[in-house]
């Protein structure tokens, strides 16, 4: 992998929209080209080089390209959005829509992300090492499909409506999750290792989707019914995946844990599962 280094210099208070910080966009260009890629600040057009020092190497193919953003960029929107391959590594925080609609490749954010991180993602891996805010892996307004594939790992806490309208893919949150996690969910898996706030799985239809609460849950909706407590074999597969593929060692603790199985949301005739690990 060839590394392109972008070091933020003076970021304005108005957010910079920089969907060009994406392996697909920079690959095959020269450093000079990259430096003069257009970014948007409010109603004005600027170039990337005004806000970032551009160094490093460029690959021919996106899949060979790594972009390192060496600093914190809370006000830079759309980093890694729509990427299909390659890798983006933000050594700080990232602004709204980080990794949104990405379909491949890997993105790592060392700090936190703002709203809509990984929204409508269809593939690839997005790892946030701190908190992510609302609508992580969610659907944009009006869309009946949120995440349709890929994996998001949030090592901190996550905001409301995590994985809304989720259809496929996987989200893992090491910390706590705010209300309405997995709302309108219709497939896919969500793992919450911290505390899950109430109203998770609201109006979820199911279609194989489930929410696993490993760290406890505030309250289960009254339109979910408790079925049984058992040790699901399939959960072992996931726990091993979390441990072995994603390096989340804590998952190993749940290999033999019994889970309380809830099914709902009966308000929509759904068969989504909420699986709560017994303490």
Binding site for other proteins (CB under 8 A): 13-15, 17, 40-44, 96, 103-104, 115-116, 121-125, 134-135, 140-144, 148-151, 168-170, 179-180, 183-184, 187-189, 199, 202-203, 207-208, 221-223, 225, 230-234, 236-238, 240-241, 245, 255, 265-269, 271, 273
For residue 241, give the H/E element and its range. helix 233-244
Query: Considering only CA atoms, which of 128, 79, 88 is closest in space to residue 246?
Result: 128
Q: How far is the CB of 143 from other proteins (least distance, A)?
A: 4
Q: How far is the CB of 131 from other proteins (least distance, A)?
A: 17
Q: How far is the CB of 83 from other proteins (least distance, A)?
A: 13
Sign of the alpha-carbon dihedral angle for 3, 93, 170, 24: negative
- Looking at beta carbons only, is 49 or 232 nearer to other proteins? 232
Q: How many CB atoms lie within 10 A of CB 268?
A: 16
Torsions phi, psi of 220, nearest 5?
Answer: -100, 140
- Looking at beta carbons only, is 7 or 84 nearer to other proteins? 84
Query: Considering only CA atoms, which of 20, 11, 59, 61 is closest in space to residue 39?
Result: 20
- Looking at beta carbons only, is 1 or 267 nearer to other proteins? 267
- Looking at beta carbons only, is 129 or 223 nearer to other proteins? 223
- Looking at beta carbons only, is 27 or 221 nearer to other proteins? 221
For residue 275, give the H/E element and its range. strand 272-277
């Amino acid at each position: 992998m060839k590394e392109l280094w972008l070091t933020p210099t003076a970021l304005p208070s108005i957010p910079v929209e920089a969907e060009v910080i994406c392996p697909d966009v920079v690959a095959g260009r020269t450093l000079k080209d990259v430096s003069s890629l257009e970014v948007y600040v409010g109603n004005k057009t600027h170039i990337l080089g005004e806000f970032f020092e551009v160094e490093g190497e460029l690959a021919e193919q996106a899949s060979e390209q790594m972009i390192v953003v060496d600093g914190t960029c809370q006000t830079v929107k759309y980093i890694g959005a729509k990427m299909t391959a390659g890798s983006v590594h933000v050594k700080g925080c990232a602004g709204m829509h980080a990794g949104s609609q990405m379909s491949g490749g890997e993105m790592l954010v060392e700090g936190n992300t703002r709203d809509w991180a990984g929204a409508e993602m269809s593939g690839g891996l997005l790892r946030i090492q701190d908190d992510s805010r609302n609508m992580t892996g969610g659907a944009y307004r009006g869309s009946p499909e949120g995440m349709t594939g890929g994996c998001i790992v949030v090592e901190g806490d996550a905001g409301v409506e995590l994985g809304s309208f989720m259809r496929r893919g996987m989200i893992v949150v090491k910390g706590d999750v705010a209300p309405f996690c997995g709302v309108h969910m219709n497939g896919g898996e969500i793992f919450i290792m911290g505390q899950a706030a109430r109203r998770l799985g609201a109006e979820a239809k199911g279609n194989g989707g489930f929410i696993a609460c490993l760290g406890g849950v505030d309250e289960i909706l009254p339109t979910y019914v408790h079925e049984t407590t058992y040790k699901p074999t399939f959960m072992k597969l996931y726990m091993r995946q979390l441990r072995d593929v994603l390096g989340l060692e804590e998952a190993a603790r749940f290999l033999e844990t019994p889970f309380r199985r809830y099914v709902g949301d009966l308000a929509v005739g759904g068969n989504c599962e909420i699986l709560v690990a017994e303490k």
